[in-house]
């Protein structure tokens, strides 16, 4: 599964959990703590189930956290790309028509319109952003790190995705590091959207991280306000 397909599955899974009001916890994945049963479950996973397992690992399995309302709206790459693009356009009223139409450069193309390596590279950026905010509270002991590394390997992801999941979960990126991956305001909008989707806004650390991210991405106040309308 390439990173674009993986991200699309993550978004779809997030929407399904949000629709059902379910918490993202290991028990709901029926992943048994006993190695033999857990192995059998994970080995038999298909794309959607792999995404569910990965999302649980990204968000953490110790507490019954729920996704924000944004997950209902960002349930696919098409939704993510379209919403980010629309929000950006809505804040361009005082700019020239040429600027609003945007450049033909890859950074100005919504993720759902990208193909091939460009699409996978953008998806990887957004996956890294999702992991960074979910792990920004820094609460992880050695046992949890071992569990995450072990279960990531059992998901059967390709090498790049596995490396990103492991590195991001154990040593989360800072808001500034995530922001540096944005090469346009449109990409920055996509990063911010996926981040508010997975953030626990009741958690002081994660809420603070979102504020730091908006500042590091250098998003205009109007654009942040526009994007935040999709949070609930």
Residue 149 pLDDT more than 90? no
- Domain boundaries defined on the chain: 3-228
Q: Which residue has the higher pLDDT, 189 or 16?
A: 189
Query: In angstroms, what CA-CA distances link 153 with 51, 111, 120, 163?
Result: 13, 27, 20, 10
According to the model, what pLDDT value does residue 107 have?
64
Rounded to the nearest integer, the mean pLDDT of the chain is 78
Closest CA to 220 of 74, 90, 132: 90
CA-to-CA distance for 146 and 46, rounded, in angstroms? 24
Asked whether the predicted pLDDT for residue 152 surpasses 60, the reply is yes
**Lowest-pLDDT range of 13-17, 36-40, 58-62, 144-148:** 36-40
DSSP-assigned states of every residue in 56-115: HHHH-SSS-----THHHH--SHHHHHHHHHHHHHHT-TTS-HHHHH--SSGGGS-GGG--
pLDDT at 108: 76
Phi-psi group of 30: left, alpha or beta (phi > 0 → left; psi -120 to 50 → alpha; rest → beta): left
Q: Which residues of 34-55 are buried (b: 16+ CB within 10 A; e: fewer)?
A: eeeebeebbeebeeebbbbbbb
* Whether the Cβ atoms of residue 205 and residue 134 lie closer than 8 Å to each other: no
Name the helix (H) or strand (E) containing 46: none
Position 15 pLDDT exceeds 50: yes
Q: Which residues contact 16 (CB under 8 A, 6 or more apart)?
A: 75
- What confidence category does residue 32 fall into, taking pLDDT thresholds of 50, 70 and 90? very low
- Condensed to tens digits (0 to 9), the pLDDT of residues 49-60 reads 677 777 777 776
pLDDT at position 88 over 70? yes
Could you give the 3-state DSSP secondary structure of residue 171? coil
Backbone torsions φ then ψ of 18, nearest 5 degrees: -65, -40
pTM of the model: 0.79
pLDDT value at position 191? 96
Residue 1, judged by CB atoms within 10 A of its CB (0-12, 13-18, 19+), counts as middle
When comparing pLDDT for 103 and 223, which is higher?
Answer: 223
Taking residues 104-120, report their average pLDDT: 82
The percent of residues above 70 in pLDDT, for the chain, comes to 72
| pLDDT confidence bin for 111, thresholds 50/70/90 | very high
């Amino acid at each position: 599964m390439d990173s674009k397909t993986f991200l699309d599955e993550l978004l779809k899974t997030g929407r399904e959990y949000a629709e059902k009001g379910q918490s993202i916890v290991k028990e709901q994945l029926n992943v048994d703590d006993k190695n033999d049963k857990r192995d059998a479950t994970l080995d038999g996973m298909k794309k959607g189930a792999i995404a569910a397992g990965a999302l649980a690992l990204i968000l953490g399995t110790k507490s019954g956290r729920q996704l924000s309302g944004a997950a209902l709206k960002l349930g696919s790459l098409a939704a993510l790309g379209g919403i980010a693009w629309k929000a950006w356009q809505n804040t361009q009223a005082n700019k020239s028509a040429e600027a609003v139409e945007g450049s033909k450069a890859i950074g100005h193309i919504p993720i759902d319109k990208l193909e091939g390596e460009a699409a996978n590279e953008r998806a990887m950026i957004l996956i890294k952003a999702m992991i960074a905010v979910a792990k920004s509270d820094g609460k992880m002991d050695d046992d949890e790190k071992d569990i995450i590394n072990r279960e990531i390997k059992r998901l059967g992801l390709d090498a790049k995705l596995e490396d990103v999941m492991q590195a991001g979960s154990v040593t989360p990126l800072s808001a500034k590091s995530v922001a540096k991956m944005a090469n346009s305001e449109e990409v920055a909008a996509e990063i911010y959207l996926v981040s508010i989707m997975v953030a626990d806004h009741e958690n002081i650390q994660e809420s603070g991280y979102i504020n730091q991210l908006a500042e590091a991405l250098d998003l205009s106040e109007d654009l942040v306000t526009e994007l935040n309308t999709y949070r609930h």
